Amino acid sequence: MTISLILIVVMAVLVAAGVYLLLERSLTRVVLGFLLIGNGVNLLILIMAGRAGVAPIVEDGVAPEDYSDPLPQALILTAIVITFAVSAFLLALIYRSWRLANADDVADDADDVALREGSMVMPIEEAALDEGATDFPVDDAPAPARQDGEVTR
Amino acid sequence: MTALVPLVVLVPLLGAALTLVLGRRARPQRIVAAVSLTIVLAIGIALLIAVDGTGALVVEVGNWTAPFGIVLVVDRLSALMVIISAVVLLAVLIFSIGQGLADGDDETPVSIYYPTYLILTTGVMVAFVAGDLFNLYVGFEILLVASYVLITLGGTESRIRAGITYVIVSLLSSILFLASIGMVYGALGTVNLAQVAERVQDLPVDVQIVLHVMLLVAFGIKAAVFPLSFWLPDSYPTAPAPVTAAFAGLLTKIGVYAIIRVETVIFPTPELNPALMVLALLTMVVGALGAVAQADIKRILSFTLVSHIGYMILGVALGTVAGTAAAIYYIIHHIVVQTTLFLAAGLVEREAGSTSITKIGGLLASAPIVAVLFFIPALNLGGIPPFSGFIGKLGLFQAAAEQGDALAYTLIGAGALVSLLTLYALVRVWNLAFWRPADDVAGDETRLLQAVEEAPLSTSTISETKATPRLMTLSTAAMVVVGLALTVFAGPIYAVAERAAENLDGSQTYIELVFPASEEVGP
């Protein structure tokens, strides 16, 4: 199976650029990255078809191995249509996100923010400490230490 | 009989078209949606009866012979999955109809809800009857695109935020899957599952492993196998209750279904089984620990969902008939129970105005029916003896014990521990949300809440409580009954699962089903 080196290089560049863009925060770039990777993968399927040949319509005097393989092209067509539909949806999603937040960035995950700011100490525990309704003795000291009998988890 | 196979795909697709045409008239839309799902369920049952006798139904679409045309294959596993998906989808549909009717607005379940839901059904069915890898990909895409729409339904800020994570992660897995299809075609010159299975044995082992790992990663993201499960607990809980229930029950299991196909039909060789066992272990433990640390019922359930995917992967990773049979039974059990729990959580949200266990209480007194509807599937998921969860886990542990090496016994231990942790998380929900008197909620300091992390920026304030319409309670109750039926009829169902697993013992049976009496196939 001989394949064009240029196609392979183009595919690699498309996928590499796509991965780079996909890792960006801006959603518009994410979409562009997705489109690039999608095209890169379509090229990959085309490469897997082997070398180029004449159109796969049976003619007299053409050896079977001279035809190009039609199946991957059918697969690529389907994949292109799917990519098209999904990118239309993504654009709508970005527009909606922009309308809501006036930015097309991926929003921070609430848990991640809390973890980064070290505020995972829960309001429930703070509130509970200065109320007396507990089964356990509460020291007046600002006790970070655990009470006796408490289970350490 | 073979005419029925394409119908499981066509009926919901036509239903989707019809509901789309009916546009804003909600009542006919509901009727069409419910009727098409009922027909799918009936076809599924007919298929299982037919397939259980003959082994499989193979349809060559457009009469093109097998390796050249597209084949649809229904074996016992597919038929079982079609039935259980139809049951779950129907119950969730009725639940959402109830919700829409009660809220009295024809906009919130927007007019695209029913068409999208039916297209989701179509995608699920395509994935189950697909006989080649590319058709499986198309099925996945259909159901994923529908799920993108459903998870961002209404377009509120939190749903868009969670939806973006879900969409991008799913897109990545789809691209990986497509790339692996390209690789498979390059290596083998075919995408027909049976022909792939036939030819893959001649490949060098290293190429086999590359293809195997690529497919497993693509499906692992969909099935939420640790470490590819990070997206699930973040994105599922924000969607509307019925949508979350359908997603949690079905979508991850379709990933597991695809993994079963890969492990049994394409690569029945045991090279990667130990690695899968370790992943199963991590999925179980990490998921369960996540569930213990959560305060929101929906998030707790999302984490238990991840953790129980580990059990199914364990069954598949054993690579024995007993393991696969147990995994199949466990999938059926888990689809039903997980959906029921999410529906019950939806009822809790209506009754109490919140799903945060730090804020609600006294539901046993105020809503005893909801309490029962939550309690039974909770025990079931935890694996308390009479229920199907126990039977499924027992089957898995037995299969693992037959394997008998150290890794298998470690997994048995972890599995038992994880079911206890699951039970702990769910019983805590029970204690706080249902048993605790409503007056005690404010300022309650119980040891049960000490390890719990409230989502910091969550807006889970108590919203207005609404009366629960009878239709919602009824559909949840129906799902509880289905879950109990899995226990009562465990014998016959487990027997079907075993026969399904025997079909999947090595790729030879599958190849013979698709290419009957053929020695050498195709070019």
Instruction: Give all strands (DSSP E) within chain A, no chain letters.
Output: none
Averaged pLDDT score across all residues of chain A: 75
Residue type, B430: W
The arithmetic mean of pLDDT across residues B37-52, rounded, is: 90
Higher pLDDT, A95 or A116: A95
Q: Which residue of A has its CA nearest to B142?
A: A82
Residue type, A68: S
Q: Which residue has the tokens 């546009």?
A: B23
Q: How far is B16 from chain A (nearest CA, A)?
A: 17
Query: Within an 8 Å CB–CB cutoff, is residue A91 touching chain B?
Result: no
Contacts of A77 (CB under 8 A, 6+ apart): none
Question: Helices in B247-296 by DSSP H: which ranges?
Answer: 252-261, 273-292
| A-B C-beta contacts closer than 8 Å | 115
pLDDT at residue number A107:
65
Residue from A8, A65, A75 whose CB has the most chain B CBs within 10 Å, to mutate: A75
Nearest CA to B346 out of B245, B277, B214, B483 is that of B245
pLDDT at residue number B231:
85
Q: Quote the CA–CA distance of B384 and B374 in Å, as a whole number.
A: 14
Q: Which two tokens stand for residue A114?
A: 């809390």
Residue B455 has pLDDT above 70, yes or no: no
Task: Yes or no: say if B32 and B117 are a contact pair by the CB < 8 Å rule.
Answer: no
Instruction: Give all strands (DSSP E) within B10-102, no chain letters.
Output: 56-60, 71-75
User: Poorest-confidence range of A90-104, B359-373, B445-459, B509-523?
Assistant: B445-459
Q: Which three-class secondary structure state does DSSP give residue B383?
A: coil
- Which of A79, A119, A123 comes nearest B178 by C-beta? A79
Residues of A numbered 1-20 whose beta carbons fall under 8 angstroms of chain B's beta carbons: which are they?
none
What is the percent of chain B with per-residue pLDDT over 70, rounded to a whole number?
A: 92
> Cis (ω within 30 of 0) for the bond into B12?
no
Residue B508 has pLDDT above 90, yes or no: no
Residue B106 has pLDDT above 60, yes or no: no
Q: Which two tokens stand for residue B381?
A: 């998921």
Phi then psi dihedrals of residue A67, to 5 deg: -75, 150
Structure confidence by residue, pLDDT tens digits, B133-187: 999 999 999 999 999 988 888 777 778 888 888 999 999 999 999 999 999 998 9
**Chain B residues interacting with chain A (CB cutoff of 8 angstroms):** 134, 138, 141, 145, 148-149, 152, 155, 157, 160-161, 163-165, 167-168, 171-172, 175, 178-179, 181-183, 185-186, 191, 234, 358, 443-445, 447, 449-458
Q: How far is A6 from chain B (nearest CA, A)?
A: 18
pLDDT at residue number B260:
92
Q: How far is A79 from chain B (nearest CA, A)?
A: 8
Instruction: Give all strands (DSSP E) within B34-130, no chain letters.
Output: 56-60, 71-75
On the CB side of B183, CA atoms within 13 Å amount to 17
Q: Quote the CA–CA distance of B352 and B347 in Å, as a whole number.
A: 9
Q: Which three-class secondary structure state does DSSP give residue B358?
A: coil
Q: CB atoms < 10 A from the CB of A82, how many?
A: 20
Residues of A numbered 111-150 whose beta carbons fall under 8 angstroms of chain B's beta carbons: which are they?
111, 113-114, 119-120, 122-125, 127-128, 131, 133-135, 150
Task: Yes or no: say if B179 and B214 are a contact pair by the CB < 8 Å rule.
Answer: yes
Q: CB atoms < 10 A from the CB of B489, how many?
A: 11
Higher pLDDT, A38 or B458: A38
Contact A82 B451 (CB under 8 A): no
